């Protein structure tokens, strides 16, 4: 397989975003329509590339691109293994689902302020963070997606948006600062920033360096992933932008943090997975509990849903915590379950936020106290919301069930009774929460706080742009649940690949600095 394919999920969205910006003065009224179509086509192509990569890597192989033909520790490496390919596919799916909803709901002002280019740049940043095999490059992609998300959060210029945007960017920049400091320490002590090369040299590094780096990375990535106790930026910012933007963030952003925690702990510090297990599981448990308890106290649909994101990130971390355990079950089962849970979460959470957003726009507000009775007016939306909600809560046959079941299996198998119990409590609380939303928003007397008459679901085209993606995500969740075993086999391959660090290092194959100077003549990709 041609390794240049790895550049496509990064280069293509960036290229099209640049094209849209360059043409932003021409085309008059058709311009926005052109932007929509180009964005949709781009994301579809990225999805196809991601699927091809998934098909290749889930056969147990890795694909490596040394950019510019420079060999590993000198140039920037892009690498895809199963985990990367699965996440790329999910990212493209989430983005493709949010795009029609955005087309239907984003106002003309935001569309003129380069909404679609920013959307593509955000996708590019997420893809880049998944693909890169270079530590500093990872930092760059974090900044790319932070900046793109910051602008998406604040365009429109409502005071509440600016307020939350500043909190969001300041707290995230603090996380980035810790990450940057960690990168500096890594370069100072290990003399390299290529991730495979770092992994190689970390084996010989003193314990103090390893523990310091691991701790800093856990803080930095934990704040990106909204883990306890660094989650507070998320609920204070996710409820202010338009619902389409919240759905995109909820589907993608925290998952980049989770991915980097997975990658750094499996690649750099596999021994700390065992030594720090109580810490990881403690954080996971606290995150699950805080997220679902916090959601109980929230007054609006979107705030409840954003607190849930936090709770679910805890489930994923729990899977990582028991990644190396297994008595009756195989080693790697926990990580595999976590990846499956991540897939479930990305699809269902996005769908549910979209459905909640549709409710909010339809009603003109999303305070639970002041809305109600939508089930008679919008039965299809009600049905989709209900099914997404029970999928999130983990009721079979949807994907939430298999995700939670496998995670519970491995925690019980490895005798972590407490965290298993906490996860059950968090699941029950999630169920209570989503049922509260369902009851308040859809049942009771019809109440409509907005001043405008409901407009969102009246025009047929717009109705399908809004309901279509929610339905499609729900179908994917159903598929994930029904064919759970097949998907679990895929995630197991991915988890074993992620845990096989010698394979990763061998695939990147960093040469020793003494042996080569200058660009390799052959291009260096194999």
Partner 1 sequence: MPELYLRLLDRILTPVLLILTLFLLLRGHNLPGGGFIAGLMAAAAFQLQILSRGEVVVRRQVGRYLHPGIGIGLLMAVSAGIAGVLDTGFFVGLWFDIPLGPLGHLEIGTPVIFDLGVFAVVVCVVTSFLLGLNAVAEGVDA
* Choices 16-24, 53-61, 426-434, 437-445 (CB under 8 A): range interacting with partner 1: 16-24
**3-state SS, one letter per residue, for 334-397:** HHHHHHHHHHHHHHHHHHHHHHHHHHHHHHCCCEHHHCECHHHHCHHHHHHHHHHHHHHHCCCC
Q: 117 vs 314, which CB is nearer to partner 1?
A: 117
Integer Cα distance of 1 and 3 in angstroms: 6
122 touches partner 1 (CB under 8 A): no
Q: 7 vs 293, which CB is nearer to partner 1?
A: 7
Determine which residue in the list 1, 18, 173, 296 makes contact with partner 1, applying CB under 8 A.
18
Shortest distance, position 146 Cβ to partner 1, whole Å: 16
Closest CA to 52 of 39, 63, 40: 63
Shortest distance, position 42 Cβ to partner 1, whole Å: 13
**Binding track, positions 73-112, relative to partner 1; x by CB under 8 A:** -----x----------------------------------
Shortest distance, position 148 Cβ to partner 1, whole Å: 13
525 touches partner 1 (CB under 8 A): yes
* Choices 13-21, 263-271, 367-375, 462-470 (CB under 8 A): range interacting with partner 1: 13-21
Looking up tokens 């910051």, which residue turns up? Answer: 150
Count of beta carbons in the 10 Å neighbourhood of residue 98: 30
Do the beta carbons of residue 172 and residue 232 sit within 8 Å? no
120 touches partner 1 (CB under 8 A): no
Q: 79 vs 384, which CB is nearer to partner 1?
A: 79
Shortest distance, position 174 Cβ to partner 1, whole Å: 22
Q: Which of residues 19-78 bind partner 1 (CB under 8 A)?
A: 19-25, 65-69, 78
Determine which residue in the list 282, 373, 450, 523 makes contact with partner 1, applying CB under 8 A.
523
Determine which residue in the list 14, 92, 304, 316 makes contact with partner 1, applying CB under 8 A.
14
173 touches partner 1 (CB under 8 A): no
Shortest distance, position 129 Cβ to partner 1, whole Å: 17
Integer Cα distance of 308 and 349 in angstroms: 9
Shortest distance, position 102 Cβ to partner 1, whole Å: 20
Shortest distance, position 68 Cβ to partner 1, whole Å: 4
521 phi and psi, to 5 degrees? -70, -30
Residues in the chain, total: 526
Q: 60 vs 69, which CB is nearer to partner 1?
A: 69
* Choices 11-19, 33-41, 129-137, 478-486 (CB under 8 A): range interacting with partner 1: 11-19
Integer Cα distance of 297 and 203 in angstroms: 46
194 touches partner 1 (CB under 8 A): no
516 touches partner 1 (CB under 8 A): no
Q: Which of residues 230-289 bind partner 1 (CB under 8 A)?
A: none
CA 311 to chain centre: 14
Cα Rg, the chain, nearest whole Å: 22
Q: 24 vs 162, which CB is nearer to partner 1?
A: 24
Integer Cα distance of 238 and 220 in angstroms: 20
Q: 116 vs 228, which CB is nearer to partner 1?
A: 116
Shortest distance, position 7 Cβ to partner 1, whole Å: 4
Integer Cα distance of 185 and 74 in angstroms: 18
Q: 72 vs 426, which CB is nearer to partner 1?
A: 72
Q: 258 vs 508, which CB is nearer to partner 1?
A: 508
* Choices 12-20, 252-260, 384-392, 427-435 (CB under 8 A): range interacting with partner 1: 12-20
Shortest distance, position 75 Cβ to partner 1, whole Å: 8
Q: 25 vs 451, which CB is nearer to partner 1?
A: 25
> Angle at Cα 145 formed by Cα 351 and Cα 357, nearest 5°?
25
CA 185 to chain centre: 27
Helix extents (H) in 156-242: 159-190, 195-202, 207-225
Shortest distance, position 206 Cβ to partner 1, whole Å: 35
Shortest distance, position 260 Cβ to partner 1, whole Å: 23
Shortest distance, position 63 Cβ to partner 1, whole Å: 12
CA atoms within 13 A on the CB side of 408: 14
Residues contacting partner 1: total by CB under 8 A: 26
Q: 169 vs 346, which CB is nearer to partner 1?
A: 169
Determine which residue in the list 53, 95, 98, 114 makes contact with partner 1, applying CB under 8 A.
114
> Angle at Cα 3 formed by Cα 2 and Cα 6, nearest 5°?
120
User: DSSP characters for 270-328?
Assistant: HHHHHHTHHHHHHHHHHHHHHHHHHHHT--BHHHHHHHHHHHHHHHHHHHHHTTT--SS
Do the beta carbons of residue 224 and residue 256 sit within 8 Å? yes
DSSP element (H, E) containing 478: helix 460-482
Shortest distance, position 400 Cβ to partner 1, whole Å: 38
Shortest distance, position 360 Cβ to partner 1, whole Å: 30
Residues paired with residue 132 on neighbouring β-strands, in sequence order: 78
517 touches partner 1 (CB under 8 A): no
Residue 215 makes CB contacts below 8 A (sequence gap 6+) with none
Integer Cα distance of 249 and 149 in angstroms: 8
Integer Cα distance of 521 and 318 in angstroms: 45
Integer Cα distance of 253 and 142 in angstroms: 10
The site for partner 1 (CB under 8 A) is made up of 3-4, 6-7, 11, 14-15, 17-25, 65-69, 78, 114, 117, 523, 525
């Amino acid at each position: 397989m041609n390794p240049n394919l790895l550049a496509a999920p990064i280069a293509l969205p960036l290229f099209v975003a640049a094209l849209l910006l360059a043409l932003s003065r021409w085309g008059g009224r058709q311009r926005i329509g052109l932007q929509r179509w180009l964005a949709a086509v781009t994301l579809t192509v990225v999805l196809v590339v991601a699927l091809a990569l998934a098909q290749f890597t889930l056969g147990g192989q890795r694909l490596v691109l040394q950019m510019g033909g420079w060999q590993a520790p000198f140039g920037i490496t892009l690498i895809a293994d199963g985990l990367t390919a699965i996440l790329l596919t999910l990212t493209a799916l989430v983005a493709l689902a949010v795009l029609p909803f955005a087309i239907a709901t984003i106002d003309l002002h935001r569309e003129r302020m380069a909404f679609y280019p920013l959307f593509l740049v955000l996708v590019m940043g997420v893809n880049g963070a998944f693909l890169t095999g270079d530590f500093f490059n990872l930092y760059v992609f974090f900044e790319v997606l932070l900046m793109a998300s910051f602008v998406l959060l604040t365009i429109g210029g409502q005071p509440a948006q600016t307020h939350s945007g500043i909190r969001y960017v300041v707290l995230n920049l603090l996380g980035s600062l810790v990450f940057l400091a960690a990168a500096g320490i890594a370069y100072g002590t290990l003399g390299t920033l290529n991730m495979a090369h770092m992994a190689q040299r970390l084996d010989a590094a003193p314990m103090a360096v390893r523990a310091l780096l691991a701790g800093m990375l856990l803080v930095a990535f934990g704040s990106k992933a909204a883990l306890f106790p660094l989650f507070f930026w998320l609920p204070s910012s996710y409820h202010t932008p338009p619902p389409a933007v919240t759905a995109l963030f909820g589907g993608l952003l925290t998952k980049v943090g989770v991915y980097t925690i997975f990658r750094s702990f499996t690649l750099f510090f596999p021994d700390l997975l065992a030594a720090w297990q109580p810490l990881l599981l403690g954080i996971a448990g606290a995150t699950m509990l805080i997220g679902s308890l916090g959601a109980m106290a929230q007054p609006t649909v979107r705030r409840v849903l954003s607190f849930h994101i936090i709770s679910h990130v805890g489930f994923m971390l729990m899977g990582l915590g028991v990644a190396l355990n297994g008595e009756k079950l195989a080693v790697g089962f926990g990580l595999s379950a976590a990846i499956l849970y991540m897939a479930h979460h990305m699809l269902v959470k996005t769908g549910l936020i979209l459905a909640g957003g549709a409710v909010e726009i339809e009603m003109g507000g999303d305070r639970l106290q002041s809305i109600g009775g939508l089930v008679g007016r919008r039965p299809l939306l009600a049905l989709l919301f209900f099914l997404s909600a029970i999928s999130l809560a983990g009721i079979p046959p949807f994907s939430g069930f298999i995700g939670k079941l496998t995670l519970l299996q491995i925690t019980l198998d490895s005798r972590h009774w407490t965290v298993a119990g906490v996860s059950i409590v968090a699941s029950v609380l999630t169920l209570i929460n989503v049922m509260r939303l369902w009851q308040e928003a859809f049942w009771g007397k019809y109440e409509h706080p907005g001043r405008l008459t409901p407009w969102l679901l009246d025009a047929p085209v717009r109705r399908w742009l809004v309901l279509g993606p929610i339905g499609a995500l729900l179908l994917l969740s159903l598929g994930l649940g029904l064919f759970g075993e097949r998907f679990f086999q895929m995630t197991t391959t991915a988890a074993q690949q992620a845990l096989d660090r010698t394979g990763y290092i061998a695939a990147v194959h960093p040469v020793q600095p003494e042996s080569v100077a200058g660009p390799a003549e052959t291009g260096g990709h194999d």
